[in-house]
């Protein structure tokens, strides 16, 4: 899981096209500009939170995600925006103020925030001072911009808040070789344990590679068998729609084809869309993006696979989530996110930004979309060694996502599970473990009322394979690698959940939506979760967290049993 640099803020945007309308007199208010912005070169975007009915939105999303009356009774995004987002009057008022400065203005379809756009020259004219600028490099091909300390009042009309003061924009001309970011294992050194091997059988593949002969990597078929996804695929019908959220990385169609040929499925077409600050596809092949796409493609062959590609900045979460649920091709079944960071949540650097992202995620849940987020690869210390206490990752701690932690999986004959413990590779010389613990800032959500005694949101919710060796297979730049992390566990779990949602839709019922209400309600019922009771994710001796029977802060509810868990899905209320 990639950790976003602390302090980076808003993603950059595209220039919006104006809505057509009948002639208006100068005294008439402008028509509200509500639409997605198409990214364009040379345009910088900042985000403005708008007045919204946050409490009412949270209540509606909670009812839709809670088994019982109203369960899985979803609301179309446009209707949700009208009910819980900014009013036409508020939008027109803010639009008049912002466009009066010579900037572009467009309200996101959620009506929870607006995109303010302009070239650096237009921003300088509007601000009366230039944006701070830092050019990108081959290793970080994003030009960075920052607002000055003071901005005109017209940029923050009453009831609104500028959310993030920095922005990135992709510069394809500077994109060059960048170091791999995936969790790949190093060779064991003196005093460390040797990496375990893949002792499951059979190991079937249609390619030849040293990692396979040395038994240092699992194949997708082995993982699918161990977790029951192969049998789930045989039980369900319908075509899943999975959206991968990518922050700052590119991918290779050739790698997708090689992976498909190796593991025996047809390479899918990836429908890609660009986020603010990314007017053209990112060219550099990124291990994170490659792992996410290939993991989903292997788990759900035939799925409609989408990719939302944004910059690697804090504000990109807001941009990416909103674009994913406002996709003109329709809602996805699931969103999968393998990114997160410390500062914007656990250190409370941007509380208004977190509140707005949480509102967008609540609207996704109300619309019937499942959002899964990696819990992190730094154990219970996402914020690093300087903080002498457990710290979590955002957006994994949002109440409207399913946070996915990590395990170490051991297989036997027939690739049946012979053991599964909490992922922690420190004994092999790698400071990496699955995220888990209690949030400093997010209150305990309704579905965790009986999960532990803390009053805070705790993660993870569920867990799956995350060890480095034998780990997840991924083809990067034509080479097979074994990688670890909750970045593998998350897209895999998302793909399995998408199969359930697609089957529900094919049967004429609503999709699953936010899965946590279901998961916590049926936990403890036979055939729902494999209880991970051994291991810990503590990397820096902060006293958290250790697995035990039932729900715990190292493995959550455990590992979903995908062959049998779907039968426990409550009916719509």
CA angle 165, 168, 172 (to 5 degrees): 170
**Rounded distance, CA 406 to CA 378, Å?**
11
Mean predicted confidence (pLDDT) in 156-165: 94
| pLDDT at res. 377 | 94
209 is catalytic: no
CB 488 within 8 A of CB 466: yes
**Rounded distance, CA 542 to CA 381, Å?**
8
Mean confidence (pLDDT) of the chain: 90
Mean predicted confidence (pLDDT) in 347-356: 81
350 is catalytic: no
| pLDDT at res. 238 | 87
Question: Which residue do the tokens 């009356």 mark?
Answer: 69
| pLDDT at res. 33 | 83
And the tokens for 106? 């467009």
CA angle 22, 26, 27 (to 5 degrees): 105
List strand residue ranges (DSSP E) for 95-196, in order. 104-107, 113-118, 132-134, 142-146, 161-162, 166-170
Confidence of residue 182 (pLDDT cuts 50, 70, 90): low
**Rounded distance, CA 8 to CA 277, Å?**
14
The per-residue pLDDT for range 453-490, each reduced to its tens digit, is 789 999 999 999 999 999 999 999 999 999 999 999 99
Antiparallel, parallel or unpaired: β 113-118 and 44-49: antiparallel
Q: Is the pLDDT of residue 206 over 70?
A: yes
Ranges 1-10, 212-221, 523-532: which has the least confidence = 1-10
Q: Which helix (H) or strand (E) holds 516?
A: helix 516-522
Ranges 151-155, 179-183, 251-255, 463-467: which has the least confidence = 179-183
Confidence of residue 415 (pLDDT cuts 50, 70, 90): very high
Confidence of residue 385 (pLDDT cuts 50, 70, 90): confident
Angle between helices 253-263 and 287-299 (to 10 degrees): 40
**Rounded distance, CA 268 to CA 150, Å?**
48
Mean predicted confidence (pLDDT) in 43-51: 97
Ranges 300-314, 346-360, 390-404, 428-442: which has the least confidence = 346-360
CB 404 within 8 A of CB 460: yes
Confidence of residue 9 (pLDDT cuts 50, 70, 90): very low
| pLDDT at res. 174 | 87
| pLDDT at res. 193 | 85
And the tokens for 500? 């359930």
Confidence of residue 349 (pLDDT cuts 50, 70, 90): low
| pLDDT at res. 2 | 34
**Rounded distance, CA 74 to CA 572, Å?**
10
Higher pLDDT, 177 or 85: 85
**Rounded distance, CA 219 to CA 482, Å?**
10
And the tokens for 342? 């410390």
The per-residue pLDDT for range 107-129, each reduced to its tens digit, is 999 999 999 999 999 999 999 99
| pLDDT at res. 159 | 95
292 is catalytic: yes
Q: Is the dihedral of CA 505, 323, 177, 466 positive or negative?
A: negative
Mean predicted confidence (pLDDT) in 161-169: 94
Q: Is the pLDDT of residue 552 over 70?
A: yes
DSSP secondary structure, 282-316, as one string: --SB-HHHHHHHHHHHHHSTT-EEEEEEE-SSTTH
| pLDDT at res. 266 | 94
Q: Is the dihedral of CA 283, 284, 289, 294 positive or negative?
A: positive
**Rounded distance, CA 423 to CA 287, Å?**
20
Q: Which of 108, 292, 319, 531 is catalytic?
A: 292
And the tokens for 137? 């490099």
Confidence of residue 8 (pLDDT cuts 50, 70, 90): very low
Q: Which of 288, 346, 350, 504 is catalytic?
A: 288
- The backbone torsions φ and ψ at residue 189, rounded to the nearest 5 degrees and listed phi first, read -110, 175
What's the Cα-to-Cα distance from 308 to each of 257, 301, 332, 443, rounded to whole Å? 20, 20, 12, 29
CB 347 within 8 A of CB 129: no
* Omega before residue 526 within 30° of 0, cis: no
Q: Which of 370, 378, 380, 487 is catalytic?
A: 487
Show the DSSP H helices in 193-333 as ranges.
210-213, 220-227, 229-235, 253-263, 287-299, 316-325
Q: How deeply is 190 buried, as exposed, middle or buried, from its count of CB atoms within 10 A (0-12, 13-18, 19+)?
A: exposed
| pLDDT at res. 30 | 54
Give me the percent of the chain exceeding a pLDDT of 90. Answer: 82
- The backbone torsions φ and ψ at residue 531, rounded to the nearest 5 degrees and listed phi first, read -80, 115
CB 58 within 8 A of CB 87: no
Mean predicted confidence (pLDDT) in 289-311: 97
- The backbone torsions φ and ψ at residue 261, rounded to the nearest 5 degrees and listed phi first, read -65, -40
**Rounded distance, CA 82 to CA 65, Å?**
20
Q: Which helix (H) or strand (E) holds 364?
A: helix 351-367
The contacts of residue 79 (CB under 8 Å, 6+ apart) are: none
Q: Is the pLDDT of residue 20 over 50?
A: no
Nearest Cα to 459, choosing from 417, 409, 405, 512?
405
- The backbone torsions φ and ψ at residue 307, rounded to the nearest 5 degrees and listed phi first, read -135, 125
| pLDDT at res. 541 | 87
Q: If you ran DSSP here, which 8-state letter would residue 489 be given?
A: H
**Rounded distance, CA 403 to CA 251, Å?**
25
The contacts of residue 25 (CB under 8 Å, 6+ apart) are: none
The per-residue pLDDT for range 76-109, each reduced to its tens digit, is 999 999 999 999 999 999 999 999 999 999 999 9
| pLDDT at res. 303 | 93
Mean predicted confidence (pLDDT) in 513-523: 98
């Amino acid at each position: 899981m990639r950790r976003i640099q602390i302090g980076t803020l808003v993603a950059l945007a595209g220039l919006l096209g104006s809505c057509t309308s009948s002639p208006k007199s100068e005294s008439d208010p402008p028509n509200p500009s509500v639409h997605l912005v198409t990214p364009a070169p040379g345009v910088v975007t900042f985000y403005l939170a708008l007045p919204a009915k946050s409490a009412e939105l949270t209540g509606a999303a909670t009812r839709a995600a809670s088994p019982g009356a109203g369960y899985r009774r979803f609301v179309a995004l446009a209707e949700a925006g009208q009910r819980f987002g900014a009013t036409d009057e508020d939008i027109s008022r803010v639009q008049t103020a912002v466009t009066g400065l010579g900037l572009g203005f467009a309200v996101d379809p959620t009506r929870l925030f607006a995109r303010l756009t302009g070239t650096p020259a237009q921003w300088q004219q509007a601000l009366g001072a230039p944006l701070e600028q830092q050019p990108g490099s081959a290793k970080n091909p994003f030009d960075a911009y920052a607002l000055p300390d003071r901005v005109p009042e017209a940029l923050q009309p009453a009831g609104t808040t500028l959310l993030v003061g920095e922005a990135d924009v992709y510069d394809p001309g500077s994109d060059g070789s960048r170091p791999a970011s995936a969790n790949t294992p190093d060779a064991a050194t003196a005093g460390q344990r040797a990496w375990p091997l893949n002792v499951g059988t059979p190991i079937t593949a249609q390619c030849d590679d040293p990692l396979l002969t040395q038994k240092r990597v699992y194949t997708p078929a082995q993982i699918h068998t161990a977790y029951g996804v192969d049998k789930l695929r045989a039980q369900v019908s319908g075509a899943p729609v999975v959206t991968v959220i990518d922050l700052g990385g590119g991918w290779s169609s050739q790698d997708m084809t090689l992976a498909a040929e190796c593991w025996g499925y047809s390479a899918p077409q990836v429908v890609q869309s660009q986020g603010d600050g990314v007017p053209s596809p990112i060219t550099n092949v990124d291990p994170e993006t490659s792992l996410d796409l290939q993991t989903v493609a292997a788990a759900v062959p035939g799925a409609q696979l989408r990719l939302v590609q944004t910059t690697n900045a804090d504000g990109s979460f807001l941009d990416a989530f909103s674009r994913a649920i406002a996709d003109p091709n329709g809602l996805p079944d699931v969103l999968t996110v393998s990114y997160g960071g410390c500062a914007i949540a656990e250190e409370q650097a941007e509380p208004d930004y977190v509140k707005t992202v949480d509102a967008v995620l609540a609207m996704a849940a109300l619309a019937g979309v499942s959002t899964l987020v990696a819990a992190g690869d730094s154990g219970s210390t996402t914020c690093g060694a300087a903080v002498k206490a457990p710290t979590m990752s955002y957006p994994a701690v949002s109440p409207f996502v399913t946070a996915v932690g990590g395990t170490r999986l051991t297989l036997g004959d027939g690739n049946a599970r012979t053991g599964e413990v909490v992922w922690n590779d420190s004994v092999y010389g790698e400071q990496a473990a699955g995220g888990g613990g209690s949030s400093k800032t997010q209150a305990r959500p309704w579905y965790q009322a009986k999960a532990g005694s803390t009053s805070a949101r705790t993660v993870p919710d569920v867990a799956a394979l995350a060890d480095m060796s034998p780990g997840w297979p991924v083809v990067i730049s034509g080479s097979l690698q074994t990688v670890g992390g909750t970045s593998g566990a998350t897209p895999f779990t998302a793909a399995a959940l998408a199969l359930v949602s697609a089957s529900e839709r094919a049967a004429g019922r609503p999709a699953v939506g936010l899965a946590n209400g279901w998961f916590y309600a049926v936990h403890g019922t036979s055939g729902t979760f494999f209880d991970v009771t051994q291991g810990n994710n503590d990397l820096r001796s902060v006293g958290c967290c250790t697995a035990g029977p039932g729900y715990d802060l190292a493995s959550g509810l455990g590992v979903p049993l995908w062959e049998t868990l779907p039968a426990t899905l409550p009916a719509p209320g």
